[in-house]
Amino acid sequence: MKRLLVLLGVLLVFSLADRCIGQSSDPAVNVQGTLAAPHLVRTIATLGGSPKQCAFAVDPLIQELRSMPYPADWSFLLVCTDAEWETILRMADIRNTDTAFTVLSKRTTILRAKMFIHPLERGYKNTLWHELGHIRCNCVSEDRASKYAYDNK
Ligand SMILES: [Zn+2]
């Protein structure tokens, strides 16, 4: 777990400094405004590709988040390639997911970009609701997160 947190810290600092794009429910807020207030808006960072290269996942994610009650200051790390995804899973010592995991203490959800173009598990919408379930219960229980997804999506 400690390795995971160090890894995520490094990744997020790197990503936020270099390749961060902002997202807000208010379309009038531009990227400069978003970056100036990083704790007030959800942020999406990409790994393994620029936001443009990863647009196949960034665009549907932004679209989906418009109608989902993720906390306003939540962060997302989109992992754009399967090679990077495998590396992150290995470094974080995570084995039980093909699509996403959430680090509650870092207020960050890590998402495999591939799920936005290939049906994985129960589809990316279900995955996003499942991860939100972890946030809402503030717990790692898969049953509770899955029930939240089932009840709310
Ligand atoms: Zn889960």
Over residues 89-132, the pLDDT tens digits come to 999 999 889 999 999 999 999 999 999 999 888 899 999 999 99
> What is the 33 CA–ligand 1 centroid distance (Å)?
32
pLDDT score, position 41? 64
pLDDT 10s digits, 63-99: 999 999 999 999 999 999 999 999 999 999 998 899 9
CA 148 to ligand 1 center in whole angstroms: 11
**Measured in angstroms, how far is the CA atom of residue 29 from the centroid of ligand 1?**
32
Mind listing the pLDDT tens digit for each residue in 13-55? 444 433 344 444 343 333 433 443 344 468 999 999 999 999 9
Domain spans of the chain? Answer: 2-117
Helix 82-92 to helix 2-19 angle, to the nearest 10 degrees? Answer: 140
